[in-house]
Amino acid sequence: MINNYLILISLFFIASCTTKQDKIQQNAISTQKTFPLYIKDLDTNKTISSAIRRSFENYEAPRLLDNELYTNFKYTELKGFNYNKGNGTISRRDPSKIIKENGKYYVWYTHRETSTEPKGFKNANDTIPSQDWDLAEIWYATSTDGFTWEEQGVAVPRPPKPKPGWRSVATADILKFKNKYYLYYQAFDAPSGKYNKKRDAYDICPVAMSWSNSPDGPWTALDNVVIPFGTENEWDYRVIHDPNPLVHNGKIYIYYKSGMDTRDANRKFWDAWGVAIADKPEGPFIKHEANPIMNSGHETIVFPFKEGVAAIVNTDGIEHYTIQYAKDWINFEIASVTQLLPTAAGVYAPDAFDDDGDGDGITWGLSHFINAGNNWNKMYSKLGRFDCDLSQKVNDPSLKQSNILLPNDLYFSQGLTAEQRKRINKRNN
């Protein structure tokens, strides 16, 4: 009930709102002097602050409990994957969306199994990986409950030189379209991690694709790249990462990440997302003229929600730690700010490819945990499960809480560096 009321109020605000400043001036005529105890008593002509106006206009509801696109995230360790006692020789990461077929859940992911842990570009060779996702293949696993998984083996191996991805195939996502299955993935033709001066990048790959008549394969690789780099002065010149296919208006929308502008001290470019659209899974994919369409995040994590598309925006950028929404599938707005978001999530969106204009949303998926052994010299990643309530069908108030109390030692684990302490001591003296 209150939700509808809030929507009514916010619709009134939106309809009557000209520019914020003009509106506040016009509000001077309101008779209501103080903000009422109950929102339902608010005089829609009352002078209100931008923060309160934003609460009604920018979000589905001014309270988290009523916001379909706000959620807490709960995490569960998975059973069924062996990591060689964490010695860095096996890594699983960047899980795909999850689909349900033949009564089982399917997930694809970057699987690295090498004689050593990653040793950086300078020490990399045909058998020694440069990065956690170097010398990798796309493997898959199935599950009946989403908690215990059975690894099935390789789906997309590294093809022979000079085919795209001969060095490594990684970070796949799945599309089911007209009863065929398509895996889109990053195709590396050089060890990732070396800074390439000409391209001013260090993780260089376009997107390739393999297809199958069954989720269990066999998979046939296209010999060509399906989403190419941008040209020299275009925002997505350096890399095309994290392909995320969905179906909208009968077309295939592939959201992807690239890195633009100049690098900061931590080698970070401005991670931004684009979308490329095609009528057929093999393309041609046309990059949207409004690209980049997301200003934050790292991996792209999108799913259909109501008539639009929602995004989990984690890790990087001025709007990280948000859930965002684009009613038109292009123009994203912040729908909520949250915490402990899954990294590189592969969501289970049962209607990801239904294209019915009423996406239900998600309640779980898999994500990855990098440096799973907490030892950068034995680097590997592992998969874990997250649960949430970003679903229209589910309403779980226990997943709409704020003020999640994290263990105190987590805060103290983020201690000052010696440099920072030195600067503080200097300031004190």
Where does this chain bind ligand AAL (CB under 6 A)? Answer: 94, 133, 170-171, 186, 203, 241-242, 298-299, 344
Q: In what order do the strands lie in the sheet with 302-305?
A: 302-305, 308-313, 322-326, 333-337
CA gap 93, 76 in Å, rounded: 16
Instruction: Label residues 298-316 b or e (16+ Cβ within 10 Å = b).
Output: bbbbbbbbbebbbbbbbeb
Provide, rounded to whole angstroms, the least separation between the CB of residue 280 and ligand AAL.
25
- Contact call for residues 321 and 343 (beta carbons, < 8 A): no
ω into 160 cis (within 30 of 0):
no
Q: CA 20 → CA 46, 53, 130, distances in Å?
A: 13, 9, 52
Sign (positive/negative) of CA torsion 24, 25, 27, 28? positive
Q: Which one, 242 or 389, has the nearer CB to ligand AAL?
A: 242
Provide, rounded to whole angstroms, the least separation between the CB of residue 242 and ligand AAL.
5
CA gap 205, 225 in Å, rounded: 10
Provide, rounded to whole angstroms, the least separation between the CB of residue 132 and ligand AAL.
8
Q: Which one, 27 or 371, has the nearer CB to ligand AAL?
A: 371
Provide, rounded to whole angstroms, the least separation between the CB of residue 384 and ligand AAL.
15
Instruction: Label residues 336-360 b or e (16+ Cβ within 10 Å = b).
Output: bebeebbbbbbbbbbbbbeeeeebb
Q: Which one, 344 or 366, has the nearer CB to ligand AAL?
A: 344
Q: Which one, 206 or 215, has the nearer CB to ligand AAL?
A: 206
Provide, rounded to whole angstroms, the least separation between the CB of residue 20 and ligand AAL.
37
Nearest to 308 by CA among 322, 294, 326: 326
Provide, rounded to whole angstroms, the least separation between the CB of residue 185 and ligand AAL.
9
Q: In what order do the strands lie in the sheet with 286-287?
A: 241-248, 251-260, 270-278, 286-287
Q: Give the HSE-up count for residue 124: Cα atoms under 13 Å, Cβ half-sphere.
A: 18
Q: Which one, 221 or 344, has the nearer CB to ligand AAL?
A: 344
88 contacts: CB under 8 Å, gap ≥ 6:
116, 117, 118, 373, 375, 377, 378, 379, 380
Provide, rounded to whole angstroms, the least separation between the CB of residue 171 and ligand AAL.
4
Q: Which one, 119 or 298, has the nearer CB to ligand AAL?
A: 298
Provide, rounded to whole angstroms, the least separation between the CB of residue 376 and ligand AAL.
15
Give the residue closest to ligand AAL by C-beta.
171
Q: Which one, 2 or 128, has the nearer CB to ligand AAL?
A: 128
Six token digits for residue 378: 């034995």
Provide, rounded to whole angstroms, the least separation between the CB of residue 14 and ligand AAL.
36
Provide, rounded to whole angstroms, the least separation between the CB of residue 203 and ligand AAL.
5
Q: Which one, 363 or 381, has the nearer CB to ligand AAL?
A: 381
Q: Which one, 297 or 359, has the nearer CB to ligand AAL?
A: 297
Q: Which one, 92 or 298, has the nearer CB to ligand AAL?
A: 298
376 contacts: CB under 8 Å, gap ≥ 6:
none
Six token digits for residue 107: 């997930």
